[in-house]
Amino acid sequence: MKTFSIRFVLFCAIALFAGAGFCRAANDSIEPAIFPRPILCELSADYVPLVKIAIASADADAINWAERHLKEWYGKQTPEVIAHQADVAYLGDEEYEMEIDEQGVKIKARTIQAVRYALYSLRQIAIPKRGTLEVGGWITPKGTIKDKPQMNFRGIHICWFHESEPWEVERQIRLAAYYKMNYAVVEPWGTFKSNVAPWLSWPDATMTKKQIKRLKAIADDLGITLIPQINVFGHASQARSLAGKHATLDISPKYQPLFEPLAGWNWCLSNPETRKLLQALINELHEAFGRPPYFHIGGDEANLPSCPDCASQPYSKLFLEHIEAMNETISSLGARTMMWHDMLIERGDPRWSGYVVNGTKETAEGFLKFPRDIIICDWYYGAPRPSYPSMDYFKSQGFSVLACPWNVTNGTIAQCKYAHNAGIMGVLGTTWHRYFGRDMWTIYYTLSNMMWNPNVNIHTGETNMLRVQTHIRQIGWDMKLTNPRQAGLYYDEIPPEPFLNN
Ligand SMILES: [Zn+2]
């Protein structure tokens, strides 16, 4: 940090004052921009040919990574990559500096991740040389970028529904990585093809181990870690409650004892077979995802017990023992448990009035004895609030906390700013069933900017939508898409009615 000097601090202050990292506007035109907005980004209106990139990095694999991806992005006109010597020891794990002038591009980045981030930024401002029928070279604005994230955990939660297709999951993983998020939770909704319990999912489940392996390889290469999820409490149907489906019971009714009688929504916590099954499933999924450092166990929106065995026991104890058992399995695999927050606070408690609360006295009591290594994912999808008291509560109880917004732009901004000021672990944004259309671009745009630098002032104007569309198109090129259905924000040019005005 010491070499960041007064000059850098001044630059930051000016950049923040001028609208937080917006690249300098050229006269009467649309200026280039980078998402998430860098801490310092000074771009000139002058463009220079993109023919040489000198990279100083302490990671031996960084040059190889750069050459491989630049070739993928720029084809025949790939700029030459040169390793150069410079002091990079002072740079953080995800921090980079980039100078672009007539001599070429100079990048300083200690780690391969920081090299990725520098090149993701460069890709967003480099454009084809003008004046030819076909691409005949690349140009980029001259300038200076100095950049590092303000939050360490920058995650996105992605759903894999029965009707989701693997390319849609892949596109989100690629977009999240391109926008410098470093974790993606992938939640199967009756779609994980398990060997331990093949009957648990729909018979035509598409989240096969082969697909997971393919997506994990892509994610690792792009610098984002995939985290698996299964629901170990409510949502045992692996379907949205409105859908009224049950991925297990609609096809295999003989497994009813594993679930509470009321719609099979909760797992039956008093049945020892439930615990055995879930522990085996956690192990199987965790292995399929290559043993990542986290595992999400869901835990939201459960009902009261409806079977006589569960109902006759102190539910706080049953709930606590169940979560402890899940957490023990996850800990033994070298990972940390993540869990939604809403069952852990009591509905009716005035402290949480107006926020998301689904817990009872029993679940809130059980929670107080939870192992403190569990990460609490505090979700709220509404309009901005002046404070988010449950984030502070979980933190004060000794837990790591992630703030989890959805698709309300102003709400996301307020939550991320609050989370940053509260000094919690980071942000895990959600997409749910809105991973296309207007929601797709506003979610990824807003989240990535606010996770990277919550002090930035952003707006969701038409120009930014067009920028995100450009980035999604670049990802389509990387995926070698040829099907029009897989291009752009909607499957079809005329989207279904509910989305027409959305
Ligand atoms: Zn039960």
CA of 421 to the centre of ligand 1 (A): 41
Distance (Å) from CA 254 to ligand 1 centroid? 16
Domain of residue 236: give its range: 153-500
CA–centroid distance, residue 278 to ligand 1 (Å): 15
On whether both 85 and 191 belong to a single domain, the answer is: no
Residue 330 makes CB contacts below 8 A (sequence gap 6+) with 282, 286, 295, 297, 336, 337
Which residue carries 């290469």 as its tokens? 221
Distance of CA 263 from the midpoint of ligand 1 (Å): 12
Give the Å distance between the CA of 336 and the centre of ligand 1.
27
Number of domains in the chain: 2
pLDDT at 56 over 70: yes
Taking the centre of ligand 1 as the mean of its atom positions, its distance from the CA of residue 270, in whole angstroms, is 5
- Rounded to the nearest angstrom, the distance between the alpha carbon of 204 and the centre of ligand 1 is 29
**227, 135: one domain:** no
The answer to whether the pTM exceeds 0.75 is: yes
Dist. CA 165 → ligand 1 center (Å):
34
One domain for residues 319 and 393: yes
**How many Å lie between the centroid of ligand 1 and the Cα of residue 190?**
21
Q: Judge whether 318 lies within some domain.
A: yes
Structure tokens at 385: 């609030």
pLDDT at residue 8 is higher than 60: no
Considering the domain boundaries, does residue 10 fall inside one? no
Q: How far apart are CA 190 and CA 204, in angstroms?
A: 10
Q: How confident is the model at residue 28 (pLDDT cuts 50, 70, 90)?
A: confident
Q: Which CATH number characterizes residue 24's domain?
A: 3.30.379.10
Expressed in angstroms and rounded, the spacing between residue 298 Cα and the centre of ligand 1 is 18
Per residue in 130-176, pLDDT (tens digit) is: 999 999 999 999 999 999 999 999 999 999 999 999 999 999 999 99
> What is the distance in A from the centroid of ligand 1 to the CA of 305?
6
Residues 118 and 160 in one domain: no
Q: Are strands 104-109 and 96-101 parallel, antiparallel or unpaired?
A: antiparallel
Q: With pLDDT > 90 as the criterion, what percentage of the chain qualifies?
A: 89
| pLDDT(352) > 50 | yes
Integer-rounded Cα Rg, in Å, for the chain is 24
467 Cβ contact partners less than 8 Å away, ≥ 6 residues apart:
33, 35, 124
Look up tokens 């005949």; give the residue.
136
Query: Measured between alpha carbons, how far is 375 from 97 in angstroms, rounded to an integer?
Result: 33
Q: How far is the CA of 335 from the centre of ligand 1 (A)?
A: 28
260 Cα–ligand 1 center, Å: 5
Q: Could you tell me the distance, in angstroms and rounded to a whole number, from the CA of residue 4 to the centre of ligand 1?
A: 59
Average pLDDT over residues 259-274: 98
Q: Does pLDDT of 4 surpass 60?
A: no
Ligand 1 center–CA 236 separation, angstroms: 12
- Residue 495: pLDDT band (50, 70, 90) is confident
CATH number at residue 313: 3.20.20.80
* Integer CA distances (angstroms), 359 to 259, 299, 346, 385, in order: 19, 11, 5, 21
The pLDDT value recorded for residue 116 is 98
Report if residue 173 sits inside a domain.
Answer: yes
Each residue's pLDDT tens digit, 445-468: 999 999 999 998 888 888 999 999
Residue at 139 is within a domain? yes
Interval between CA 407 and ligand 1 midpoint (Å): 35
Q: Please choose, from the candidates 244, 224, 248, the residue with its C-alpha nearest in 3D space to the C-alpha of residue 236.
A: 248
Structure confidence at residue 497 (pLDDT): 67
User: Ligand 1: distance of its center to the CA of 255 in Å?
Assistant: 13
Strands 96-101 and 40-49: unpaired
* CA of 320 relative to ligand 1 center, distance in Å: 15
Asked whether the predicted pLDDT for residue 14 surpasses 50, the reply is no
- Rounded to the nearest whole angstrom, what is the distance from the C-alpha of residue 432 to the centroid of ligand 1? 28
Q: Report pLDDT for 18.
A: 39
Distance 48 CA to ligand 1 centre (A): 68
Query: Given 121, 147, 173, which residue is the final one in a domain?
Result: 147
Determine the Cα–Cα distance for residues 109 and 106; give it in Å rounded to an integer: 10
Residue pair 491/188 in contact by the 8 Å Cβ criterion:
no
